[in-house]
Amino acid sequence: MYAVSSLASASIAASLLAIAELHALRTGRALPAIQLDRRLANAAFRSERYLTPIGWKLPPGWDPIAGDYPTRDGGFIRLHTNYSYHRDAVLAVLEVSATREAVRSAVATWNGEELEAAVVARGGCAALMRSPEAWAAHPQGRAVAAEALAGLRTQDAAPPQLPAAAAPLTGVRVLDLTRVIAGPICTRVLAGYGADVLRIDPPGFEEVGALLPETTAGKRRAQLDLRVPADRAQFVRLLADAHVLVHGYRADALARLGFDAARLREHNPNLISITHDAYGFTGRWAMRRGFDSLVQMSCGIAWRGRAAAGSPTPLPLPAQALDHGTGYLLAAATCRALTRLLSSGQASEVRLSLARTAKLLVDQGDTGDLGAPDFSRADAEPWLEAADSAFGPLRRVPCPAGIEGISPNWGVRAGNLGVDAAAW
> Can you give the length of the chain in residues?
424
Residue-wise pLDDT tens digits, 75-120: 999 999 999 999 999 999 999 999 999 999 999 999 999 999 999 9
The rounded distance, in Å, linking the Cα atoms of 124 and 50 is 29
Task: Please give the sequence-ordered ranges of beta strands (E in DSSP) within 98-189, or none if there are none.
Answer: 126-128, 151-156, 173-177
Q: Shortest CA distance to 90 belongs to which of 113, 68, 65? A: 65
Average pLDDT, the chain: 95
Q: CA-CA distances (angstroms) from residue 276 to 32, 43, 57, 191, 303?
A: 29, 23, 31, 18, 24
* pLDDT for residue 372 is more than 80: no
* pLDDT for residue 261 is more than 90: no
Parallel/antiparallel/unpaired status of strands 67-70 and 76-79:
antiparallel
Look at residue 376 in the predicted model and tell me its pLDDT: 84
Domain 4-61+144-282+318-396 fold is Rossmann fold (3.40.50)
Look at residue 271 in the predicted model and tell me its pLDDT: 97
The rounded distance, in Å, linking the Cα atoms of 403 and 16 is 7
The rounded distance, in Å, linking the Cα atoms of 180 and 290 is 11
Residue 358: pLDDT band (50, 70, 90) is: very high
With b for 16 or more beta-carbon neighbours within 10 A and e for fewer, the 195-223 pattern comes to bbbbbbbeeeeebbebbbbbbbbbbbbbb
Residue-wise pLDDT tens digits, 53-68: 999 999 999 999 999 9
- Bridge partners (DSSP) of residue 246 are 176, 274
**Edge-to-edge strands, sheet with 394-396:** 52-53, 394-396, 385-387
The rounded distance, in Å, linking the Cα atoms of 135 and 141 is 5
Positive or negative, the Cα torsion across 216, 220, 223, 229?
A: negative
- Return the biggest CA–CA distance within the chain: 65
DSSP assigned state of 72: T
* pLDDT for residue 259 is more than 80: yes
Residue 150: pLDDT band (50, 70, 90) is: very high
Look at residue 250 in the predicted model and tell me its pLDDT: 79
Residue-wise pLDDT tens digits, 67-78: 999 999 999 999
Sequence-distant contacts of 264-269: CB under 8 A, at least 24 apart: 264/239, 265/155, 267/236, 267/239, 267/240, 268/239, 268/240, 268/241, 268/242, 269/155, 269/157, 269/158, 269/347
Residue 310: pLDDT band (50, 70, 90) is: very high
Q: What is the mean pLDDT of residues 175-198?
A: 97
Look at residue 253 in the predicted model and tell me its pLDDT: 82
The rounded distance, in Å, linking the Cα atoms of 209 and 214 is 10
Q: What is the mean pLDDT of residues 362-382?
A: 84
Residue 37: pLDDT band (50, 70, 90) is: very high
Residue 348: pLDDT band (50, 70, 90) is: very high
The rounded distance, in Å, linking the Cα atoms of 322 and 324 is 6
Percent of the chain with pLDDT over 70: 100
Residue-wise pLDDT tens digits, 409-421: 999 999 999 999 9
CB 6 within 8 A of CB 364: yes
With b for 16 or more beta-carbon neighbours within 10 A and e for fewer, the 301-318 pattern comes to bbbbbbeeeeeeebbbbb
